[in-house]
């Protein structure tokens, strides 16, 4: 059906929850499973990755080869080379599937029929939905055009397009100003050859949301050899309660695409929101000033 691929680094709690959320989809649709670990040293990671075999093909990159500017794209190049299906679902480790697997499968089917090169399937803030969403191109499951057709980092991708475009650049200097530059270069490369509006589309009811459980607004992230922010465990084996088929159907009937808050049902914790009822997005620079932080080897709560 598809190649399902995850990139991961030193956020084992998030990775476990993501894979737990995918189990029903994997059982029902039997995708090819690829995972790249970008040199993690977190306690328990090696053992967990070993437990995934043989169902998952895992590339565990050497910690000494870590390159925080280029790691994500080194991993993507390996995944593109290993993929055996015509669609790749790229996921980062901080996402979680919150809809029935059948809804994701329906979107994959529609994506294969569309001329678009990629489809975004992760819930975002309301202001982002309003700014980026164009008219509907598929009614059910709903798919919308993008008014800003930037080629995304994760979501659904046509494998042939990625191979034809060539590998992502992975030789950027390890300086903050070059963070994300590979993605921008790839976007510009594709825009030279394809109609810009076809670079990406958006699922009306996305399938994934990120683990936004730092009480200030955000998630644990890796910078400068440490993990920053509150790195909290889920109550059970997932951070979010999954939506039912009927809940997804109700969202499909609404006029506008769904947002992060339409999809995210936290399992015994709360999402931080601002005075407008939007999810709070606490600046990472402030987190790095205020803490908490912990060594990457640690699996502690903070």
pLDDT per position as a tens digit, 79-108: 999 999 999 999 999 999 999 999 999 999
Percent of the chain whose predicted confidence (pLDDT) is above 90: 83
- Convert the pLDDT of each residue in 173-207 to its tens digit: 988 888 889 999 999 999 999 999 999 999 999 99
- Convert the pLDDT of each residue in 2-57 to its tens digit: 999 999 999 999 999 999 999 999 999 999 999 999 999 999 999 999 999 999 99
> 3-state DSSP call for residue 19?
helix
Q: Taking Cα atoms as reference points, which of 47, 36, 49 lies closest to residue 8?
A: 36
CA distance 44 to 41: 9
302 band by pLDDT with thresholds 50, 70 and 90: very low
Superfamily of domain 3-215+243-269: Spore Coat Polysaccharide Biosynthesis Protein SpsA; Chain A (3.90.550.10)
- Write down the pTM of the prediction: 0.96
CA distance 287 to 265: 25
Q: Alpha carbon 236 to chain centroid distance?
A: 21
- Convert the pLDDT of each residue in 217-259 to its tens digit: 999 998 878 899 999 999 899 999 999 999 999 999 998 899 9
User: Residue 65: pLDDT above 70?
Assistant: yes
Which pLDDT score is estimated for 300? 66
Cα four-point dihedral sign 137, 143, 148, 152: negative
Q: For the packed helices 101-113 and 12-29, what is the interaxial angle rounded to 10 degrees?
A: 70
């Amino acid at each position: 059906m598809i190649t399902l691929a995850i990139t991961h680094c030193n956020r084992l709690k998030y990775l476990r929850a993501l894979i737990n959320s995918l189990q029903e989809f994997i059982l029902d649709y039997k995708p090819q499973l690829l995972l790249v670990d970008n040199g993690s040293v977190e306690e328990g990671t090696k053992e967990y990755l070993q437990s995934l075999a043989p169902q998952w093909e895992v590339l565990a990159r050497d910690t000494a080869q870590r390159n925080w500017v280029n790691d994500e794209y080194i991993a993507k190049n390996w995944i593109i080379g290993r993929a055996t299906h015509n669609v790749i679902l790229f996921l980062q480790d901080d996402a979680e599937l919150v809809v029935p697997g059948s809804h994701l499968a329906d979107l994959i089917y529609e994506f294969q029929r569309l001329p678009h090169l990629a489809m975004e399937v992760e819930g975002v803030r309301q202001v982002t939905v309003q700014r980026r969403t164009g008219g509907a191109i598929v009614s059910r499951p709903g798919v919308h055009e993008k008014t800003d057709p930037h080629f995304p980092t994760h979501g659904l991708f046509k494998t042939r397009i990625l191979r034809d475009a060539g590998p992502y650049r992975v030789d950027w200097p390890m300086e903050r100003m070059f963070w994300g530059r590979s993605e921008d270069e790839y976007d510009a490369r594709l825009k030279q050859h394809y109609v810009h509006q076809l670079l990406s589309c958006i699922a009306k009811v996305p399938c994934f949301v990120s683990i936004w459980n730092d009480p200030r607004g955000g998630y644990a992230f890796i910078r400068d050899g440490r993990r920053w922010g509150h790195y909290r465990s889920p109550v059970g084996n997932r951070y979010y309660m999954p939506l039912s088929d009927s809940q997804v159907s109700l969202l499909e009937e609404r006029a506008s695409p769904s947002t992060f808050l339409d999809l995210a049902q936290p399992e015994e914790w709360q999402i931080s929101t601002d005075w407008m009822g939007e999810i709070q997005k606490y600046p990472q620079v402030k987190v790095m000033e205020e803490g908490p932080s912990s060594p990457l080897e640690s699996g502690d709560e903070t």
